[in-house]
Amino acid sequence: MLFNEKVKAVVDRFNTKFSADSSKFIFIIIEDAIYMVLLLISGFRVLNAPCCPSGENGQCVEDKTACQNRKEYVFSDEFHPTEAANQIIAITSYNASNINHLLHSTEFTGIPAIYTHSSSFSTSITCSLSPTSCTINFFNLTRDMQTSWLVLSVFLLAAINCMHGHGEPQVPCLFIFGDSQSDSGNNNDLPTSAKSNYKPYGIDFPEVPSGRFTNGRTAIDITSQLLGFEKFIPPYANIGGSDILKGVNYASGAAGIRIETGTHMGVDISLGLQLANHERIVSEIAIKLGGYEKAVKYLNKCLYYVNIGNNDYINNYFLPNLYPTSRIYSRERYAQVLIDQLSLHIQGLHDVGARKYIMVGAGLIGCTPNAIFTHNESSCVEEMNVAAFIFNDKLKALVDQFNTRFSSDSQFIFINSTFGALDSSLGFKVLDAPCCPSERNGQCVPNEVPCQNRKEYVFWDEFHTTEAANMIVAITSYNASNEAFTYPMDIQHLVDHSPLISSI
């Protein structure tokens, strides 16, 4: 980065010095965050390994067979990018002038059409580069701006030496709290119907179904890659042999803020129990680092991702035959009860060293295929979405409250997961039906064949989104300039925030 800044300064100096004789110098930066984002959405699957068998010098072993799926590899050998990656760099360098019109627009019409099949390319999709970063804000896409996802990916990738696969992640560790949107296997061995460790779940995920409630990666999986983690954060249920210093995923399918939420399906791990598990992990980290005080200083630097609350509506409040909450509380009062309980849990998390928080709001719970079907609606169920909006307003206010209260040492951000989540003008062709054949409980029928065009579906089963939709959420959460989506900053800026090192 220091070298690049000096090169850029030389370019400026030469453009001034030789301006009289029509000389022109330009600077091409290949370290921008945008390239990492584009890498992840453009079909590159292997970010930190070479395509060819490599020798001790890092170059290909002579006459050895290289990988067959070369377009999915960033690196050809241990140093050099593949032709596919080179193409990204070349095209982006050749035409990168006006992406600010797209990336910095304050208007929003929905999720970007990254996965459309239009063959036309809009020249407004280019990139304005800076020496340190490129803000990605995929807003204001209209029908005539839709492009093929493969072509768009060309403008979303280049900085090979910015890839964190060959370095340290942007934060030392990531701790994940939540429900089935983030669960990566914690429910696999629990006595519950809320589990997904069977096919076709994980059809696009490496190896076998892992317990993720989608076809591939979850939003937090992708976020962890954007943050530079080489491996996905392991589930608490399977941390044996894992490096807990990198983080732990405590999320549990069907879980909620309230302890009874989702229990009609069996056992789940509520937020309170997830925090109890985290306290045990903190104790283990203290042992590893040689003391509690050292552990706290280390944990101050980590990210804490909290994505929970949807089930407190879907699998509690809006199931009046099973739970009494809708008879006890108005929607307004229930949201406040949830926020009050969440606030206590977050304060407990703060007590054991958490300082950088990502608080994810409720989604458009009334627009899931299950909600539409069970309420006999032809479109989204308004009362469910209104409840989510009330919760989100209060969660955003809680973020403000905590940022004021803990301003000396902490930072909280709010992710609005309802913002422009569904729009018929986007590249997603199917917005209200699941990709996989579903059972009565809304989950995929075991071993049934899912849809082939998964990148065109928003929903994987009747509740959970596809990897394609998760990709959009992750990218815009990581790097977005519009506060209607991430407030008061995005994840990338949260990473850069430097709270005072505190003791507890």
CB within 8 Å of 504: residues ≥ 6 apart: 296, 351, 352, 353
pLDDT score at 114: 28
pLDDT score at 14: 87
Q: Which helix (H) or strand (E) holds 370?
A: helix 369-374
Residue by residue, pLDDT tens for the chain (504 residues) are 678 778 888 888 888 888 877 788 887 765 444 455 455 545 566 777 899 999 989 999 999 999 988 877 888 999 998 887 786 666 556 544 333 333 333 232 222 322 222 222 222 222 332 323 333 333 333 333 333 332 333 334 333 334 434 468 999 999 999 999 999 999 999 999 999 999 999 999 987 899 999 999 999 999 999 999 999 999 999 998 778 999 999 999 999 999 999 999 999 999 999 999 999 999 999 999 999 999 999 999 999 999 999 999 999 999 999 999 999 999 999 999 999 999 999 999 999 999 999 999 999 999 999 999 999 988 999 999 999 999 999 999 999 999 999 988 999 999 998 865 565 555 789 999 999 999 999 999 999 999 999 999 999 999 999 999 999 899 889 988 788 889 999 999 999 887 654 444
Cβ-count burial 322-334 (b if 16+ within 10 Å, e if not): ebebbeeeebeeb
- Which residues are annotated as catalytic? 180, 461, 464
pLDDT score at 245: 96
**Measuring CA to CA, how many Å separate 94 from each of 11, 134, 157, 411?**
18, 17, 13, 39
- The answer to whether 467 and 478 have CB atoms below 8 angstroms apart is no
In order of their start, the domains of the chain are: 27-55+64-162 (no CATH), 168-496 (3.40.50.1110)
pLDDT score at 113: 28
pLDDT score at 141: 36
Tens digit of each residue's pLDDT (9 = 90 or more) over 301-313: 999 999 999 999 9
pLDDT score at 44: 65
Q: CA-CA-CA-CA torsion for 345, 346, 350, 355, nearest 10 degrees? A: 160
Angle at 467 between CA 95 and CA 380, to 5 degrees: 105
In this prediction the pTM is 0.73
Helix pair angle (219-226, 467-478), 10° resolution: 40
Q: What are phi and psi of 107, to 5 degrees?
A: -90, 155
